[in-house]
Amino acid sequence: MNNTKRKINTALISVFYKDGLCEIVKKLNELGVKICSTGGTYDFIKNFGINVDSVESLTSYPSIFGGRVKTLHPKIFGGILFRRNNTTDTAEQTQYDVPAIDLVIVDLYPFEETLKQNANENELIEKIDIGGISLIRAAAKNFDDVLVISSRNQYDCLQKILTEQQGETTLEQRKYFAAEAFNISSHYDTEIFKYLNQQQNINVFKQSIKQVTDLRYGENPHQKASFFGNLNDIFEQLHGKEISYNNLLDIDSAINLINEFDEPTFAILKHNNACGCASHTDLTEAWKLALQADPVSAFGGVIVTNRPVDNICAEEINKIFFEVIIAPDFTDNALNILQSKKNRIILKQKQYVFPPQQFRTILNGVVRQDRDNRTVGINELCFMTNIKPDEEQINDLIFANKLVKHSKSNAIVLAKNRMLLASGIGQTSRVDALKQAIDKAKNFGLSLTDAVMASDAFFPFADCVQIAHESGINAVIQPGGSVRDKDSVDYCNKNNMAMVSTGIRHFRH
């Protein structure tokens, strides 16, 4: 490698998107740069009265196969790839009359955009770029001598270089744009692979996300953090400060939880777990009931609902301090009320279908799993005890099971009248989780008489149902599957408790 500057004398331009190109070619022409181009780009440049040579005149070979083969020729790739400081390369360049190409401006056929338009396979295949991506890779490889511009988003930077440096480029600049080029080409290839792999199911981890947001810090101030993705697909931020790393974790948990409910529901989350949740035909009442479960933890929490928030509801919510509120909409009056705190984050949730798989980094790799989309309804319950739960109990059991699914294991949820009474979360034993939940309900003066209990996994012993029964709980929902299920069932039968199983465990770590 060398650190000398390189003068742009010849440019190859072939782009799908023409916007922003006019000023570039005018500046190149002003600097006396020879321009070579193809097809529509050639016509575009020609229309400005700027001298431009066609690729065909350079290669003495026509565009063939409906334009599939235009630039794939030794004179083009040789002009890009030969090393200017290598005597063997320069001798061969002279021998074979290969013109030097110092600047390559090429973008790619819009495969990803075409995919989003639900195009048929033939249309998609024709949007798989071959010549363009080859030119980009060739120019990026030879960054020691060649500058590659691989996106219209880079035109402003190029224009600045051309203007301020009179068509000269530094090694640092060329190396930067080479890295950008491989970023673009690798993302492009990944999207094509993911499309083709939908039916082939080749088991490999490939992800590429172009959008990035730098966050203030990670879980703690000493940790750097970024978010890769487009948050605007999920929600619109109507008010408040920049969303933090911890906010994002809570928002993710909140949206996943609220999506479980069809009826009007409010949930309050803290550290990814619900500390309050209630469903009610009246949304304001749902909020009041949700807050009752743990008004202490609600301080500084994340609030989520699945119904538009009106001014009456907003007045009640505004009585406490919280970081984030998420809803499908807000009335103007409600928004005015909630915007009274300048840093409060207000998010309007959009309809969005989340991908079916989840990824997580562990050790020196990544694990992948299917998203836990299983939530049972009444027709999927298995009645395990002599006493069957009544309709109200079934509603509460299903409600509690949705909550325990989104609680950190080991988890126990206690509920009544579709209201979270208390939960025990993140405990090393199920008994400890239950005791934590019972103590919490008592501390806030909430009666457990005729309440229901949900467990994220089976009961290995009968101790949990016994402790629950002694606290007033009379119905239980659990996955089942323990070799000692009979012990818990026998206890319930002897003490007039109802138990149902779902057959589905919901560990969450």
Picking from 214, 134, 213, the residue whose alpha carbon sits closest to that of residue 181 is: 134
Listing DSSP states for 257-271 in one string gives: HHTT--S-EEEEEET
Picking from 69, 44, 47, the residue whose alpha carbon sits closest to that of residue 59 is: 69
SS3 35: strand
Cα dist. 354→203, 251, 357, 358 in Å?
A: 20, 14, 9, 10
- Secondary structure element (H or E) that encloses residue 490, with its range: helix 485-494
How far apart CA 168 and CA 8 sit, in angstroms, is 6
271 is catalytic: yes
The amino acid at 411: A
How far apart CA 75 and CA 89 sit, in angstroms, is 13
- Retrieve residue 408's tokens: 């950190």
- What's the N-to-C CA distance of the chain in angstroms? 49
SS3 205: coil
Cα dist. 366→67, 359, 369, 452, 507 in Å?
A: 41, 7, 10, 38, 19
Listing DSSP states for 159-188 in one string gives: HHHHHHSTTEE-HHHHHHHHHHHHHHHHHH
How far apart CA 227 and CA 213 sit, in angstroms, is 5
Residue of 46, 194, 271, 388 marked catalytic: 271
The amino acid at 453: M
469 is catalytic: no
Q: In this structure, how many other beta carbons lie within 10 angstroms of the beta carbon of residue 4?
A: 12
How far apart CA 291 and CA 303 sit, in angstroms, is 10
SS3 483: coil
Residue of 75, 141, 194, 341 marked catalytic: 141
Give catalytic residue positions: 141, 271
